[in-house]
Structure 1
Amino acid sequence: MGLEMEGMAAAIGVSVPVLRFLLCFAATIPTGLLWRAVPSAAGRHLYAGITGATLSYLSFGATSNLLFVVPMAFGYLAMLLCRRLAGLITFLGAFGFLIACHMYYMSGDAWKEGGIDATGALMVLTLKIISCAINYSDGMLKEEGLRDAQKKYRLAKLPSLIEYFGYCLCCGSHFAGPVYEMKDYLEYTERKGIWASPTPSLILPTLRALVQAGACMGLYLYLSPQFPLSRFSEPLYYEWGFWHRLFYQYMSGFTARWKYYFIWSLSEAAIIISGLGFSGWSDSSPPKAKWDRAKNVDVLGVELARSAVQLPLVWNIQVSTWLRYYVYERLVQKGKKPGFLQLLGTQTVSAVWHGLYPGYIIFFVQSALMINGSKVIYRWQQAVSNPVFHAILVFLNFSYTLMVLNYSCIGFQVLSFNETLASYQSVYYIGTIVPIVVVLLGYVIKPARPVKPKARKAE
C-alpha cells in the first residue's frame, strides 16, 4: 500500500502526506451524502463528530484529535461556567492555543516542503468554537441595539455536548471550511427552519462544484511547474527587467490561487451534497435554490475584481464574513463609523490566525493599505460625472487591485521576512508605494459628496 501511494503521489506531483490528506478530503463527499440519510438528530450529531474525527485520524494521525479536544473543552467550559464573558475568554484562550500550535509546528515551512499537519483544520475549528461562545454570550443581551448578525445567530441555551461535538468536528467543513454558525447547524440536524421542507435537488450544484474543483486542480498542476516559488531565491529572477519580474509576481500569485480554488470547491461539494449548504430561495420568479452557505470563493470575482474592497466578499468568503461579524463590527464603537484602524485590527487578527510568519503579517498589513487605497479611487469614481473619466477611473481601480494584490501575496507564499522583502524590493516596492500615495492623495483631492435630494413636503 505504501508503494502504491508513493507511485500515485509521484504521478500527480505531490508528497505522500498531501496525497493522504487529499484522499481523506475527497472522502468527505460520500460521507456528507450519507450524513443526510441518518434518521435522527442525535444520530446526525454523532455521525458528524465521529466521521470528522476518523478522517482527521486517517489524514493527520492520532495526535490531531488530541489537539482539537483542548480548545473544544476550553470553549465549552467557558460557556458552562461564565456565560457573560464566555466569548471573550474563548477568543483569547482558543486563539492563544492556536498561536502556540503555529509556533510549535511552524506548519508553513512544512507545507512548502510537501508536508501537512492538523493546524489547518485547527484554524477552522478555532473560528467555530469562538463564534459559538460569542453567540451564547449574546443570548443574554436584550435584542434592542444588537446588530442583525447578533440577532440572527445568538443562542438562547447552551448546546448539549453531543450537539457541540458534531458541530465542531463535522467532516464536511472540518478540513478547510467553510465556517458556519452553530444555529444553522442545529436547524439543519433537527430539520427546522429552511430544512423543515424537503431540500431541493442537490445534483446540479454538487456537479458544478466538482467540475470547478477538477478544472482548478488541472490548471494548478499545469501552471505550478512553470512558476515555482523557488524562482524568487534564484539569481535568474534578479537578472530580469522590472516588467518581467512584475509579470512573474502576477503569475506566481495567479497560479497559487488555483490550489485554494480547488480545495474550497471540493469542500463546497461536500457541504452541498449533505444538504447543509442550502441557504434558502431567491426572490426571483420562479424562486431558485441558493447554496451560498457552502460557497467560499467566487473565482471570477477574485480574478476580475474591479476594486480591492470587493476581495473579502469573494475570497475565503465565510472566513471574511466571520471576521466582519466577530472582529470588525465589534471593534466599532456605537455611534461611530469604522475606519482604517478597525480594518487594520481585523487584518491583523486574520494574519495571526494564519500563522506567525512575517510574510503573513506583511501581507495582511499590505491588504489593509490596499483596500484603503481602493476606497479612495472608488470615491473619485463616484464623484466624476463624465463617462470617459469615470471609465478611466474604473480601469485604474481594476489595474491597481490586480497589481497590488499579486505583489502583496508573494509574502503569503514565501513566508520568510528576507524573501518577502527581496521580492518587494525587486519591483522597487511599487505595491507598497502606490497605495500610500493614493491614500495621501485622498486627503488632498477630496471629492464632494453626492447631494441627497430633499424629501418633498407633503402637500
Structure 2
Amino acid sequence: MSPDELVYLGILAASIPVGVLFRYLSPPVKQKAALTLGLLITIATCGIHTLHSLCTVLGTWLIIRVNWKKAPYLSLGWTFLYLLFFRMVNWFGLPSPSPFANAIQLLLTLKMVSLAYEVQSYHFEKKKDVSSFSKSPVIGRLSQEPSLYDIFSYSYCYIGMMTGPFFRYGTYVDWLEQTDPLSLPCKAPCLSRLKMVPMYAALFLGFNYLFPLSYVRTDDFMEHNFFFRFFYMVAVFFVFRMRFYSAWCGAEAVCIAAGLGCYPQGAESKPGRGPTVQYSPEPGALVEYDFKTIQNIDCYNTDFCVKVRHGMRYWNMTVQWWLHEYIYSSAPFRAYALRAGWTMLVSAYWHGLHAGYYLSFLTIPVCIAAELAMESCVRSRLGTEGQRVFDWVHWFLKMRAYDYMCMGFVLLKASDTLHYWSSIYFIIHVVALVCIAVGRLMGGKKKEKKEEESEK
C-alpha cells in the first residue's frame, strides 16, 4: 500500500469509534465537533491547499445569497470551472494539490451543487406555503435557509470528506437533529458492513502484487500472447474492485457508527437521496431502520447484475444518484444512450482531465447502445431457456466491458490506454459495434429508457 492509502486507512479506522462518541453529543455540540474535526483533517492532510475548498465554499455561499433562483446552475458552473483551475494550477505557477485535496474537492463539488438545489427548493416551497396557507408535503425539505456557519459545517463535516459517500445537506441536518441517537441500531449494521473488508483488503493486496498495473506499460508485457494480455485486464479490474469495495464499505461503516443516514425502513430511502415518502409510525409501533441513504456500493450486484447500464447503479451509488438527479435529468437529449453519454462526459470531467477517463466513460454509451440493440432484436425473440442463456452471455460480456474500460481509468494516459486496447484489437469496441450493426440489420427498434429512475 502507498503512504497515501495508509493515511486514508488510518482516517477511516479512527473515524469509526469517533462516530460512536458523536451519538452522545447534543446537536449544537455535534455540529461544532464534526466541523472542527473535519477542518483538522483537512488542514493536516492538505496544508495550504485547504484554500481551494475554502474558495469553493465561499463562492457557493455568495451565489446562493445573491441569486438563489439561479443558484443551481450558477453553482454547477462555478464549482466545475473551479475544478478546471484546481487541476491546472501549475499553469499559474502554483503548487499541485495533494491527492487528499483532490478527494476533498471532488466530494465538495457534489455537495455545493446539491446544496444550491436544496436552497432553491426551500424558497420555492416557502412561496407555495404562503400562497396556499398550508405547509408543502415535499419530502426532505429544509426548514430554514442554511447560514454561512451551517454551510461550512456541512462542507467540512469529517464524515465522508475524502472517501464519500455523498449525502445531501438535508441528510446532514437530520443527523444533527436526531432526537435519540443512542437508541438507533448502529452496531449490527456497522459490523455487517465491516465483516467483508478484511477479505476485500487481502484480495486487493494479493492480486495487486501478482498483477501490478505497471507491468502493462512494459515491452515484456506485449511479448505475451493475446489471451494473457486479455486476461490481465480481468485481473486489473478485480484489483480495482477490491480496493474500492474495501474503502467504500469502511466509509459506510463510518457513517453508520455515527448514525448518519439512519431512517425508518418505511421512509423508503434511496442512496444519496434519503427518504422518498413521508413516514410517521404509529405511537408504540416497532420501527425498523436502515442506512440505505449512505449505501455507496452493492458488491454482489456490481459483480453479478447482467447489464452494463445496471452495473453503474450499484457502483458509487450516492454519486450515481447525484449524476442522475442533476445531470442526466437535465441532459439536452431525449435518447437514453445520448443522455447516458452526456452524463458519462460530465462524470469523466468530474474525475479529472486525464484522457483515459474520457476514453473509458465514453465507451459506456456504445456498450449500452449495443446491449439495447441485442435485447430488442435477439432476446425478445427467444424463449425462456434461450433468454437464460442470453443473459449469461450478456453478463460475461458486461464484465469484460468493464474490465476493458477500467484499463483506461487506471492507465490514465491516452497513449497507454490505446496501446493496451490495440494489443487486444479493441475487442470490446468491435463486439459492441457488431452488436449494433446486427441489431439494425435485424430490424430491432431502438429501446429507449423512459423511466426516470434514480441510479442506485
**Bin for the TM-score computed over the shorter chain:** 0.7 to 0.9
Give the superposition deviation at 1:155.
Answer: 4.3
Determine if the alignment matches structure 1 residue 351 to structure 2 residue 339: no
Deviations 1:257-291 (A, max 9, x none): 11111111111000001111323216999874321
Residue of structure 1 in register with 2:24 after alignment: 37
Task: Find 1:124's aligned residue among 107, 111, 129.
Answer: 107
Residue of structure 1 in register with 2:398 after alignment: 401
Give TM-score scaled by structure 1 length: 0.84
Code of the aligned partner of 1:72: V
Give the superposition deviation at 1:418.
Answer: 0.5
Code of the aligned partner of 2:432: P
Residue of structure 2 in register with 1:100 after alignment: 85
Residue of structure 1 in register with 2:215 after alignment: 231
Code of the aligned partner of 1:366: T
Residues 160, 138 of structure 1: CA spacing in aligned structure 2 closer, same or farther, 3 A cutoff? same
Residue of structure 2 in register with 1:55 after alignment: 41
Deviations 1:132-177 (A, max 9, x none): 012222334468xxxxxx9545546421223212211111111111
Number of matched residues? 418
Q: Report if the CA contact (8 A) 2:359-2:408 is conserved.
A: yes
Determine if the alignment matches structure 1 residue 188 to structure 2 residue 175: yes
Q: Report if the CA contact (8 A) 1:86-1:133 is conserved.
A: yes
Determine if the alignment matches structure 1 residue 253 to structure 2 residue 237: yes
- Alignment partners' CA distance in 2, 1:53 and 1:14: 24
Q: Report if the CA contact (8 A) 2:24-2:181 is conserved.
A: no
Give the superposition deviation at 1:187.
Answer: 1.8
Alignment of 1:163-242 (within 5 A): 163-191=150-178, 199-242=183-226
SS at 1:84's partner residue?
Answer: coil
Code of the aligned partner of 1:129: M
What 5-or-longer segments of structure 1 have no aligned partner? 1-12, 144-149, 451-459
Residues 445, 155 of structure 1: CA spacing in aligned structure 2 closer, same or farther, 3 A cutoff? farther
Residues 129, 448 of structure 1: CA spacing in aligned structure 2 closer, same or farther, 3 A cutoff? closer
- Alignment partners' CA distance in 2, 1:448 and 1:349: 28
Residue of structure 1 in register with 2:298 after alignment: 298
- Alignment partners' CA distance in 2, 1:31 and 1:196: 18
What 5-or-longer segments of structure 2 have no aligned partner? 129-136, 269-284, 448-456
Task: Find 1:278's aligned residue among 262, 267, 278.
Answer: 262
Deviations 1:220-267 (A, max 9, x none): 011101111111111222112212211111111111211111111111
- Alignment partners' CA distance in 1, 2:232 and 2:446: 40
Give the superposition deviation at 1:35.
Answer: 1.9
Q: Report if the CA contact (8 A) 2:357-2:408 is conserved.
A: yes
- Alignment partners' CA distance in 2, 1:266 and 1:372: 35
Q: Report if the CA contact (8 A) 1:380-1:393 is conserved.
A: no
Residue of structure 1 in register with 2:120 after alignment: 137
Residues 196, 323 of structure 1: CA spacing in aligned structure 2 closer, same or farther, 3 A cutoff? farther
Residues 446, 29 of structure 1: CA spacing in aligned structure 2 closer, same or farther, 3 A cutoff? farther
Task: Find 1:265's aligned residue among 226, 249, 253.
Answer: 249
Residues 381, 135 of structure 1: CA spacing in aligned structure 2 closer, same or farther, 3 A cutoff? farther
Residue of structure 2 in register with 1:10 after alignment: none
- Alignment partners' CA distance in 2, 1:391 and 1:71: 50
Code of the aligned partner of 1:439: I
Residue of structure 2 in register with 1:421 after alignment: 418
SS at 1:180's partner residue?
Answer: coil
Residues 380, 54 of structure 1: CA spacing in aligned structure 2 closer, same or farther, 3 A cutoff? farther
After superposing the two structures, state which structure 1 stretch, 182-191 or 68-77, moved more.
Answer: 182-191
Code of the aligned partner of 2:210: Q
Q: Report if the CA contact (8 A) 1:35-1:274 is conserved.
A: yes
Deviations 1:70-118 (A, max 9, x none): 1111111111111111111111111111222123379xxx99xxx8331
- Alignment partners' CA distance in 1, 2:90 and 2:322: 25
SS at 2:306's partner residue?
Answer: coil
RMSD value over aligned CA atoms?
Answer: 2.8
SS at 1:174's partner residue?
Answer: coil
Code of the aligned partner of 1:89: L
Q: Report if the CA contact (8 A) 1:83-1:137 is conserved.
A: yes
Give the superposition deviation at 1:380.
Answer: 4.7
After superposing the two structures, state which structure 1 stretch, 386-395 or 217-226, moved more.
Answer: 386-395
Residues 393, 53 of structure 1: CA spacing in aligned structure 2 closer, same or farther, 3 A cutoff? same
Residues 420, 283 of structure 1: CA spacing in aligned structure 2 closer, same or farther, 3 A cutoff? same
Code of the aligned partner of 2:115: C
Determine if the alignment matches structure 1 residue 80 to structure 2 residue 68: no
Q: Report if the CA contact (8 A) 1:35-1:44 is conserved.
A: yes
Residue of structure 1 in register with 2:409 after alignment: 412
Residue of structure 1 in register with 2:430 after alignment: 433
Give the superposition deviation at 1:311.
Answer: 1.2
Residue of structure 1 in register with 2:75 after alignment: 90
Q: Report if the CA contact (8 A) 2:345-2:362 is conserved.
A: yes
After superposing the two structures, state which structure 1 stretch, 237-246 or 277-286, moved more.
Answer: 277-286
- Alignment partners' CA distance in 2, 1:329 and 1:231: 41
Give the superposition deviation at 1:381.
Answer: 6.4
Residues 438, 189 of structure 1: CA spacing in aligned structure 2 closer, same or farther, 3 A cutoff? same
Q: Report if the CA contact (8 A) 1:238-1:426 is conserved.
A: yes
Q: Report if the CA contact (8 A) 1:135-1:153 is conserved.
A: no
- Alignment partners' CA distance in 2, 1:80 and 1:296: 32
- Alignment partners' CA distance in 1, 2:337 and 2:138: 26
- Alignment partners' CA distance in 1, 2:381 and 2:140: 40
